[in-house]
Structure 1
């Protein structure tokens, strides 16, 4: 799901080395690449000996359709996310971390959608010359980090729920997530550092192509490992929570609904993240990024998967009618009129 800079650099090297002409400045590379040791290293989605063949000129109608379709799609998705965020904040004052995390995650998804709107409004491939190429790369990569932050938060809560379900305080306010929070902070910080480092090196060390190739490769590997780790985490904790909830002495009908929802959620999340990895890997080895039509197909598939992942998260976090009953129980619990099995109900409504 990340830009394949390595392929672009190798492609540029092969194209340039076969030419009897050489560059002297970045201007010789049409300002769509960098002149390093008299060789043009083209940006992604650009070809030619002097980076004078942006891919969009070969697939202009398809490129425009790609921009407009996804721009409209993410605008509509943003409006729906705003509506869901508004509904989610109705539950904030009940002082339960499940509601607060859902509110935060809705805001994170909203941020992702806004970034994608800017991305498609501006210059998706960075070949139109409207904005610096580095800015386009940032608009592509950073939202992916934002999206998976939302998935990490959801996984953090699942893990905290399982490990600390017995540590609910007597007032029923929070689940403690101390055991899982450090993992989230470390992994999220590493990913964020990669995003910042990529932009900084693109600006300050554009002439050191070896370092940029190594950074791009490291980034791609880290993203793939992170996705696999999140996938594995959901599969593991989904199974553990299923087993724990099944053993609770709670209402059978409520438990049945919760188990069904948990099972479906675990399967969908695990499968969707796994499927999200496949196009990047397959298209990488097929060298799709080297040709205009291949680049258009790859971009369309990747952005479609992003859309599906967002819809999936919104479905998982959508306020259910059953939550209203949970809130009613919470009010009784706070007033000292605790119904039997309140902790068990809290466990059922945490997912």
Structure 2
């Protein structure tokens, strides 16, 4: 029976890997091991998701922690190489575009272990983003590329990746979303904040391009404080973002302006807030996808996105900090709903199982 390592490192990885784990387990064709790199080590950003998503505990935690890009990537590279030599798999599945994605792909490739990249081919065409570098390099190392949308497939083909290495399977994060949608609705997390469904805004911002540039962060804070005068604003705050806000006293200003800063929420709690929101202000990649399927207006505080399909077919709109409030006001009570991208139907993980079988990977003890 073939052994597969599935890597998780940060919050979005869990939602992408969980349905793949479930589908591969149900096939009975593989011995599976979950590898946690420890890139997210806060309980609310990592281990809290294991129980919610019905994932087993990882066989190893590499405890990479935080640090510079070089230190974090190096820590995962060293740790995962050592584990690969102890528990050599037949295939390594790496999701997304974080530092752990590249580090695990590099460690496996150098030991001649094939790599499958889940969410391959996404491109922002902005090389100032560390994630863009991680995506490109991981795709150059991978033997199997599972893309979430046709534009991602086209990107890979333009870069010279052979067609036979690419399969458009759809979006595994949406598999999780649709599976847990009844739980999001039932949680009614908005009630915990004393607000009504459809009458508040959810914020989630964590990218250094927004949090580490003082003028940009101040402009974001200005916009949210102004918005908070007319609509409740709820901000489950990433620890790194909260530290940036506290550094310049923005946290006090936000609270005084009525913006509700709170701890990061577990998956079901956070997505319940998103389901009931009037709009979401974010710089996250995955939330652009989730809001598109939910039909919730999304204002992405970035100059570009690696998920353009969420703008062309979904509810997403790119904005600069100074344009956040104007864009929100421009929604003018617009109704929900959007065209759901092709193959974002909750069956992406099943297509991955089928693809592996077609590639001759399925085996039985």
TM normalised by structure 2 equals 0.24
**Which protein is bigger by CA-based radius of gyration?**
1
Instruction: Give the helix-richer structure, 1 or 2.
Output: 1
TM normalised by structure 1 equals 0.24
Instruction: Give the strand-richer structure, 1 or 2.
Output: 2
